[in-house]
Amino acid sequence: MVLSGRSRLGTTVYWATHYLMIAAFVAFALFPLFWLLKVSVTPNDILYTEGVRMWPSRITWDNYAFVLTKSSFPHFFLNSVIVSGSTAFITTIIAAMTGYAFSRFAFRGKVVIIALMLITQMFPLVMLIAPIFRILAPLGLTDSLTGLIIVYTAFNVPFATFLMQSFFDGIPRDLEEAAMIDGNTRFEAFRKIILPLTLPGVAATLGFVFTAAWSELLFALMLVSSESASTFPVGLLSFVSKFSVDFGQMMAAGVLALVPACLFFLLIQRYLVQGLTAGAVKG
């Protein structure tokens, strides 16, 4: 069927508007990152004198040099990598097993457990600071990376569990039943058949939990008092003094803090774009 001139014009306008809106959204989302980079390479002597410019008249790498060699940021950075990586790994393992149980088994108290997990997501985090501190303090887990890992894991497990459950619900039960008929135990069927098919879900869960732990500030600020156990969100506050804020160094630290998250998503991106059960069932 041949489209009329008016129809072709309408289609062109539709797609042009479509792509223009996408481009505007991408520009809106990336502009803060661009400004972060711009301020980080702007010399302090022209940061406030040049006015609003899309790019400074000259650039400097002194802010990055100071952050990497003369500040405690590398230590904060390492602490965040340890806490975020450990939290993502532990949470994903727990969520995978719990999500599988919720998806495949009917047991007494299942609805109550799910309801309790949902309720934990309803409380504002601020009102939980004091109870958590009272629990961790006698155990010697305040002002430590271990305490942060435990708290982050506890708060991320419910959502990660429901996320993994949704992936397991999308996999036909016939696959694991066929594997068990062939002599595999349920755990072997889970490990050999189901888990490989949920790699996109595992990657999505890892990414979500890692990002949440990497950028978390409230608990890291309230439960940690020493510089040795501080993570990078708390470390950014070290660039704020009583009478001034060194925006150049702070923005340089912010740019460097984006590197692990970007590398992490580059590593898991091929699992994120895979079809959930592509090729699993062949007709």
Residuewise pLDDT in 10s, the chain (283 residues) = 444 556 676 677 778 888 899 999 999 988 988 888 888 888 887 877 776 777 888 888 888 888 888 888 889 989 999 999 999 999 999 999 999 888 888 888 888 888 888 888 788 888 888 889 999 999 888 889 999 999 999 999 998 998 888 888 888 888 888 888 888 888 888 888 888 888 888 888 888 899 889 888 889 988 888 888 889 888 888 787 777 778 888 888 888 888 877 887 777 766 665 544 343 444 3
Q: Which amino acid, residue 158? A: P
Is 264:97 a contact under the CB 8 Å cutoff?
Answer: no
pLDDT attached to residue 182: 82
pLDDT attached to residue 273: 59
Where do the domains of the chain lie?
5-40, 72-272
pLDDT attached to residue 281: 43
Judging by beta carbons within 10 Å of its beta carbon (0-12, 13-18, 19+), is residue 43 exposed, middle or buried?
middle
72-272 CATH? 1.10.3720.10
Rounded Cα–Cα distance for residues 13 and 265 (Å): 35
Rounded Cα–Cα distance for residues 222 and 95 (Å): 26
From the list 85, 72, 220, 216, the residue with the least C-alpha distance to 143 is 220
CA distances from 217 to 41, 108, 152 (A): 25, 38, 11
Structure tokens at 194: 């189901």
